[in-house]
Structures are given as C-alpha cells and as structure tokens.
Amino acid sequence: MKKYTFFLLLLFFFPSTNVVSQPVRIAILSDIHYLSPEIAQPGAALEKYETATGRNLSDLHAVLDKTLAEIEAAGTDILLITGDITNHGEKQSHIDFTKKLYPLQQRGMRIQVIPGNHDINIPDSRAYIGEIPAPAQSISSKEFPEIYGPFGYNGALKLDTASLSYLAEINENTWLLCFDTNRYAEHKTTSVSGGRILPSTMNWALDILRQAKAKNVTVLGMMHHGIVEHMPYQATFFPGHILENWESAAGILAAAGLKIVFTGHFHSNDITQFTGSAENILYDVETGSLSQYPFPYRLITLDSTSLSIDTRFIESVPGTAGLQDKYRKTTESIIRRGVRARLQQTGIPFADDAREALVELLTGLNVLHLKGDEVLDEGMLRSIQQFAEVMDDENFDINSFQLDFPPADNKLKINLK
C-alpha cells in the first residue's frame, strides 16, 4: 500500500531600451462560462444544471457585473479574456456576452479575447428552459472572429491563417501574441479538453518573435491552455489541462524571447515558470475561473522594464454577502464527490479509515490550489499525517511533495529586461 501514496496524491490533485511613456493597466479574466439568461430560465432543467455544477446563475451574473465594474473603476486600459467565455459554446451566450463588453469599449477600454475549448463547435450545447435541457445552437470557427471582431480580430496586426491566433499591439513597444490552442475541428460528441499549437501556427509565432527582437519590442502571450506544468506530473495525470508536448513548446518559445503567457483552463489561480536550455525563463500566469470559487481576476501594471501582478477576489454580491464561504463549501462538496468516485474507479482495496483520510486530504489539496499561494494549515497537516499513518507509510514526508511551484501566485513582479 505504501507505493500508492505519492501516486494517489498526484492522480487526484485537481497551470535595446524601449520607452513606455505611461504604464499600461491590464486586467485578466478567464473561464467565465457565461450562460445567457435567454436560454437558462427557472425550471427543472436549470435547477438540475445548477445542482450538478454548483453554479447559481443569479450569483454568477452578479459576479461578472461586479467584476467588470471593479475593473473599470481600477482604470484598466486593456482587458484580456483567456477563453471559455461561454458555458458550453451557445451562440446566444456569445452574443449576449458581447453586450457586456461593448459599453466598456465605448468608454475607452480595449478588449482582447481568445477562444477556449468550450467556445466553438460544441455538439452538445444546451438550453435550460422548462423540464429538460434542449439542444442549443453553437458557433463555428468562422463565426467566432465575426462575433468578437471588435475585441481583437478586427484590429489585429497579423492573423494566423491556420487557426484563430492573432497578434495585437499593446503599445508601440509591446505586442500581445494570442494563441488559439483549441481542437474544435475534432469535436464529435462534445468538446475536447486538451490543447496544442499547430506546427504552422508555431512557425507563424516564431516569425513574429524574430521581428519583435529585431525591433526591440517586448512580446507577451495569451492562450487558453497551460503551457507549463503547475504541479508535479500534471501532463501525465491531467493531459487535457496542458498543451501537448508542452516542454518542447515552452522551450521553443522561451528561446525565441517569449517571457510571459497568460493562461486559464485549469480553473486555478497559479503562476509557475519554465527555464529553458539557455536559461531563458517563461512564466505561465494562470487565472482561475470567474464561474466558481474563489472568483478571481488579475490586475496588472506594465511598464518599460517590468510587469506587476495583483489578484482580486469577489467577496460578495447583492443577496449573497458571504460569497467565498458559500462557494468554498459547495466546491468542497463537488470535489469530495468526484474524489470518492475516482478512488472507486482505481480498484485499489482501501480500508474504510484509509479511504476517508485520503478523500479529505485530496479534497483539501484541490481547494487550496484553486486560490493559489497554498499554505498548509494545522488541519491539513493533521490530515496528511493521518493518511500516512493509515497507509503505514513511515517514509512519506509532506516536505517531499511540492504542493505549490514557485513563484508566488497572487502578487508578483516580473522583470522584463
């Protein structure tokens, strides 16, 4: 039984001198999973959806509205959205979400979006009206840049011909390289979670990075999927949450001069770094989902030499004062249910006390990872110790399990020069 200890922890653990005249204020949102109220109305179908997902649509719409208001109040110049804009690719959700963006744009905010795996060509999109869910119309890869033309595509410096990747300008000294890493052409019955950068898209991006180097332009990246592991063996046990051949992709882009990529997809607030063969460092700045605990968004200040990251969490909305506590409990319950099911699927014979200790441990680790900057409290340490004891594993040491890769997850300054 000892040999299973570390394996199970991994398996169930749910990543020249340029001159900028004025600092640029950037906000980042990810995995909003917006579901339009036009196709989600009170009834048995919606109630079942909310119970299964732990999402109360009234709360989530209020969270989104408050987040956008706070972002605007912070004086944001550019809003980045790193995919999974809609719940599951519903055309109505896309259309109605843009109605949230237009007022911000009209008041001077620039907005750049990139699709996620839940946004395009979804065969099983659903509307939740009445007693049972009904099929809902999704959108094609051709429609996405049409709907979101004002939010990245129409003003792009360059468009990739092989994907929905594009290049945008932040200012005269900084570009934003937006990667489409999704596999929507492969969607048959539902969405494909995993991501990749097409070879032709990689060549397109490398050409841009070469041009940027020649012009002394800094390039920031944005994509839906993680490009660097955010935990040990993430690519092995959660391949759908990181790019295929991530080490190769990260190494190639780091060597070409890309220093920072903004990502989402894993629904966790985490920052990690990759050091290439030439000691080039690439940071993966993953922003958690705005559709679940802990409801994060990022505020970033970019100047000529550095990028400073701050993270905010929505604490309350009208009608729900204790938003964090309410949804932490809901999330714990959903994760606990999932852990129990996956333990059952392993077929490993556990004693009852060992199983319960493991369920609590893995649930706690998951919840900690969602918010970032994981710190083990006394209860977690006791849970780990109890698990080690029931597993009769004298060699297990929490210090040997790196719960959170460096650097800090929620407040960080990254030097660009």
Strand partners, 274: 282
Q: Is the pTM of this model over 0.75?
A: yes
* Amino acid making up residue 324: Q
CATH homologous superfamily of domain 4-317+407-415? Metallo-dependent phosphatases (3.60.21.10)
Write down the pLDDT at residue 361: 80
Query: Dihedrals φ, ψ of 145, to 5°?
Result: -70, -15
DSSP-assigned states of every residue in 315-381 = --BTTBS-HHHHHHHHHHHHHHHHHHHHHHHH-----HHHHHHHHHHHHHHHHHHHHSS----HHHH
What's the length of the chain?
417
Given this model, what pLDDT does residue 347 score?
A: 78
Q: What digits encode the pLDDT tens for the residues 58-82?
A: 999 999 999 999 999 999 999 999 9
Query: Is the dihedral angle over the CA atoms 321, 324, 325, 331 positive or is it negative?
Result: positive
SS3 category, 261: strand
pLDDT at 325: 95
- How sure is the predictor about 388, in pLDDT bands with cuts at 50, 70 and 90? low
Identify the burial level of 386 via C-beta atoms within 10 angstroms of its C-beta, where 0-12 means exposed, 13-18 middle and 19 or more buried. Answer: middle
Residue with tokens 């956008």: 68
Percent of the chain at pLDDT > 70 equals 90
Token representation of residue 108: 């001077």
Q: Where are the domains of the chain?
A: 4-317+407-415
Exposed/middle/buried for residue 193 (C-beta within 10 Å: 0-12, 13-18, 19+):
middle
Cα-based distances in Å from 402 to 97, 279, 362: 39, 22, 14
Provide the pLDDT for residue 343.
Answer: 79
Q: Which comes out higher in pLDDT, residue 203 or 234? A: 203
54/367 Cα distance (integer angstroms): 14
Position 13 pLDDT exceeds 60: no
Strands 78-81 and 24-29: parallel
Please give the Cα distance from 43 to 39 (Å, whole number): 11
User: How many other β-carbons are positioned within 10 Å of the β-carbon of residue 252?
Assistant: 18
For position 378, what pLDDT does the model report?
75
Region 168-183: mean pLDDT is 98
- How much is the pLDDT for 11? 52
Q: Provide the CA 21 distance to its chain's centre, in angstroms.
A: 31
- Torsion-angle region of 117 (φ positive above 0: left; ψ -120 to 50: alpha; else: beta): alpha
> Residue 347, exposed/middle/buried by CB under 10 A (0-12, 13-18, 19+)?
exposed
> Could you check whether the bond before residue 123 is cis, i.e. omega within 30 degrees of 0?
no
Q: Cα separation of 217 and 174, whole Å?
A: 5
Mean pLDDT of the chain: 90
| More confident of the two residues 380 and 216 | 216
Of 267, 275, 279, which is closest to residue 372 (Cα–Cα)? Answer: 267
Q: Which two tokens stand for residue 19?
A: 């001159």
- For residue 114, give the 3-state DSSP assignment: coil
Q: Is the pLDDT of residue 15 over 50?
A: no
Q: What is the Cα–Cα distance from 67 to 127, expressed in whole angstroms?
A: 25
CA distance 150 to 287: 23
Q: What type of residue is 211?
A: Q
